[in-house]
Structure 1
Amino acid sequence: MNEQRTPVSEYLRARRNVLQPEDVGLPRTPGRRVVGLRREEVAALARISPEYYVRLERGHDHQPSAQVLLALAQALKLDDAATTYLLRLNSGWSPSAMERSPASQKIPESVTALLRTLQDVPAVVVDGNQDVLAANPLAQALQPASMQPGRNLLLATFSAGARDRVGETWRSLAERLVASFRLRSNPNDPRFRELLANLLIQDADFPGIWARHEVADLSFDTTQHRIEPFGVVTVSWQHFQVPGTDTYLVLFADPPGSPAAAAIRYLAESIR
């Protein structure tokens, strides 16, 4: 039977391939050569027929029910963000879907004013593609190579400079950012397609990370920044979605008295 790849079928296949029997409470039989789970194992865990699951993975059922998808999400150990993504794939992101409206990228004046008043907290505004739309002076000083309007945080992360700066933790950071990019971007957006093609062609690590189909709602995390004379400092950040837009306000802040807070305070004083 010929396969007709659909976004849902590709996602199911990718997530099945990264799970091991032990991950879902199944025994590993001697001599097992399958990469990931077998199709019939996923079907049994989701309590659907193996034949129907095969049809789904081969793209021959274009409208599986939400009930089936939720059962598969549970079988594949998907978290809330990944389950939402699976349901969204099934709801109709097609090549003919409406592309993102430029108005959805417009930064409200209230957010622009907030950036001007935040003098002691690095702050940037990014969109779902991780393009930097705006940044206050302290954010630009914190990471001059990436936190400038017009730059892209994902491209910056896959640069040689980021690899050197972050070191051993680089791959973990890159995987998390790619997972967030997959969740928050719009595959019908020309900018998304441009970034994806660029990274697939020009970066040796990106295709393997992208092929895992990881999804994550990266609302908070940490990144490393060099702030002299403190050296490399780990700084916490958090995303806040700007209501009515597909943009996010990102604030970098750590508790008072922490090394990161002291380094950022020093940086803020040095640029005044």
Structure 2
Amino acid sequence: MTENHLGEFLRACRAALQPQDVGMASYGMRRVVGLRREEVAVLAGVNADYYTRLEQGRERNPSAQVLDALSRALKLDSDAHAHLHQLAGIAPSNHFAHTADRISSGLRQLLDGYPRAPAFVINRTLDILASNPLAEALHSPFERADNLARMAFLDPVGRQFYIRWSFTAQAIVGLLRQAAGLDPDSPRLGELVRVLSEQSTDFDRLWKTNAVRGKTQEGKHFFHPEVGPLALTYQAFDIRDAPGQQLVIYQAEPGSSSAEALNLLGSIHATSNQPTS
């Protein structure tokens, strides 16, 4: 049976809203969590039976106009709005095919051109495809620096390393949900979600919320056992010749304690990696 990703997402968004959130009065005993289907239909200006068929997967070809109206009714932000369109097959998808997990030699050279900033490349499923030496040093407390989601949810170090662990966990799940909208049939994503759901109750709970979130410019707060707390900003750049890959670069405020700690971390690992005579 074909999976009903669109309907599941609509139900989750509907359940997250109360009548007062959308300026509606609430009457009688409510047997559902959140808004009723009929209420969403009224807010969006669509037929209630049509909306029910969308949720149930009996209608799978809504127009962009209907999706826009549902986005407004459900108060979706820009990331969730785009996700809704992608699930319905409205957003352009030819460049969202499965991408290779190899990085080009030019990108490898670019990574190494940031000796004072941790820089690494990830794909949509948050696999770390390549790192420069300082990024390797930053992630050295983990048993394996292979996938940001696995590191946060399954490695015991994750809850100490990510100072704002709950915020980080929500952001990671939101990014994976976004990836599911872009490439719902990805075998890698399906396997990753299965493993994380089975081994982490926190991931399973957050995944079931269907929340979508793209990358923001929120600061990163880490605790590294060798140098202490690090407050870093970051930039993420899409790789044009490898859709789905992103170059992520962390930076510390010049002259700050985090900048000093980052320099110290680089020195420690540069020294430890020197060949012995």
Question: 1:137 corresponds to which residue?
Answer: 133
Question: 1:267 corresponds to which residue?
Answer: 265
Q: How many residues matched?
A: 262
- The correspondence for 1:173, drawn from 168, 175, 185, is 168
Query: With structure 2 as the length reference, what TM-score do the two structures score?
Result: 0.85
Question: 2:4 corresponds to which residue?
Answer: 6
In structure 2, C-alpha distance between the alignment counterparts of 1:90 and 1:194, rounded to whole Å: 23
Runs of 4+ in 1 over 6 A off after TM superposition: none
In structure 1, C-alpha distance between the alignment counterparts of 2:99 and 2:193, rounded to whole Å: 20
Query: With structure 1 as the length reference, what TM-score do the two structures score?
Result: 0.87
**1:157 and 2:152 matched:** yes
- The correspondence for 2:211, drawn from 214, 229, 249, is 214
Question: 2:247 corresponds to which residue?
Answer: 249
In structure 1, C-alpha distance between the alignment counterparts of 2:162 and 2:27, rounded to whole Å: 40
Counterpart amino acid of 2:215?
L
Counterpart amino acid of 1:220?
Q
Alpha-carbon spacing, 1:28–1:264, altered in 2? closer, same or farther (3 Å)? farther
Bigger mean CA offset, 74-83 vs 222-231: 222-231
SS at match of 2:88: helix
Q: Please list every run of 5 or more consecutive structure 1 residues that lacks an aligned counterpart in the other structure.
A: none
Alpha-carbon spacing, 1:43–1:5, altered in 2? closer, same or farther (3 Å)? farther
- The correspondence for 2:178, drawn from 183, 191, 196, is 183
Question: 2:25 corresponds to which residue?
Answer: 27
Query: How big is the shift at 1:31?
Result: 5.5
In structure 1, C-alpha distance between the alignment counterparts of 2:260 and 2:31, rounded to whole Å: 53
- The correspondence for 1:109, drawn from 105, 108, 120, is 105
Query: How big is the shift at 1:235?
Result: 2.2
Query: How big is the shift at 1:197?
Result: 0.8
- Checking the alignment, whether the CA contact within 8 Å between 2:161 and 2:224 is kept in structure 1 is no
Query: How big is the shift at 1:4?
Result: 7.9
- Checking the alignment, whether the CA contact within 8 Å between 1:143 and 1:225 is kept in structure 2 is no
**1:57 and 2:61 matched:** no
Counterpart amino acid of 1:163?
R
- Deviation track 1:153-194 (CA, whole Å, cap 9, x = no partner) reads 100110232124446x32221011110112135222211111
Query: How big is the shift at 1:21?
Result: 2.1
- Checking the alignment, whether the CA contact within 8 Å between 1:235 and 1:252 is kept in structure 2 is yes
Query: How big is the shift at 1:29?
Result: 4.8
**1:72 and 2:73 matched:** no
SS at match of 1:221: coil
In structure 2, C-alpha distance between the alignment counterparts of 1:66 and 1:6, rounded to whole Å: 18
Query: How big is the shift at 1:27?
Result: 3.5
- Checking the alignment, whether the CA contact within 8 Å between 2:227 and 2:265 is kept in structure 1 is no
SS at match of 2:189: helix
In structure 2, C-alpha distance between the alignment counterparts of 1:119 and 1:83, rounded to whole Å: 38
SS at match of 1:205: helix
Counterpart amino acid of 1:170?
W
Query: How big is the shift at 1:134?
Result: 0.2
- Deviation track 1:205-258 (CA, whole Å, cap 9, x = no partner) reads 111111111111114333332246652223222221111211010111132133
Alpha-carbon spacing, 1:261–1:25, altered in 2? closer, same or farther (3 Å)? farther
Q: Please list every run of 5 or more consecutive structure 2 residues that lacks an aligned counterpart in the other structure.
A: 271-277
- Checking the alignment, whether the CA contact within 8 Å between 1:132 and 1:148 is kept in structure 2 is no
Alpha-carbon spacing, 1:172–1:226, altered in 2? closer, same or farther (3 Å)? closer
Counterpart amino acid of 1:39?
R
